[in-house]
Structure 1
């Protein structure tokens, strides 16, 4: 990453409310699709950022994020593209298990407690997730220095990576401030640091 004289401003949002091919409560890495509520949330997200001079919309390579990006970009009148690095954490062998699976909960709890070496069997460690998210944001910041970009990502990876990359918040910021659908965090990225300017988390877990 080359030196940045001006930080890039990222509005990083979780995709809109989605439905999936699998039954509710089952762990999946499928792309899903936006529900009518999710489509409305994506439109509202784009509308809310009309005054922010958004240069482009970037999203993960997952279908529900791509659909959110497309709708928000239409509202903003800008292009959108999908890039690797912004997708949800990969759970490996836990696909098909219930979200309450003890193995999954142990890994997530370890991450929140600061043990980023913990990993899903056949999937990612916390360190894997934070590192690839860092590189994705840095590469984007290098391209859009001094500009504003909307990034459509996923709640779990945002909650883990963004606080740990930022210099001005606690690592466990997301532990009691859950990320709602399609409401952006504002993050500044320059050559030296990441800084969270706004975190949209809610204390009520039902927002997700």
Structure 2
């Protein structure tokens, strides 16, 4: 049983977002009502509408805040791997998995709620910032591939994002019936390794 959240004047909006994140994690993005979020935040349902027009607006704000964290986490991982392009690239893949584990409510709001990143300019901008970090890492690494064999950086990025997302969805979030004999980190690392070997970016015996 959840306790009502206390809040101070001026931070009701954030209290509602935090309540929504808790409910999203527990029930999914469509498994709760605005009234439940209000109750968890310790306010009346009417108070919610002073800040959000509906549940989707509330989830969109949770997603925006998630992308802010995600972009920072990805950028930190990228910077930590410098000056090695390979280390920086691999670090961003691991950071994706770490983010999904540490911030499951945000992750669901971002990727599983059906909320478009183009819902608001603010959401679109921060989602682009996260993508740009991944694309920069891909560009750094793909410079080592002859131009005629080099995939576009956006495709490179999309492949790794898809691989990371697939590992998270199937094996890192306790999805029913998807037990793997391998740790998600190992699956991701070996998958990226196969991909990079295929592009000739790492030696076959690595």
TM range (shorter): under 0.3
Structure 1 length as normaliser, TM-score? Answer: 0.27
Structure 2 length as normaliser, TM-score? Answer: 0.27
More strand by share: 1
Q: Which gives a bigger RCO, structure 1 or 2 (Cα 8 Å, sep 6+)? A: 1
Larger radius of gyration: 2
More helix by share: 2
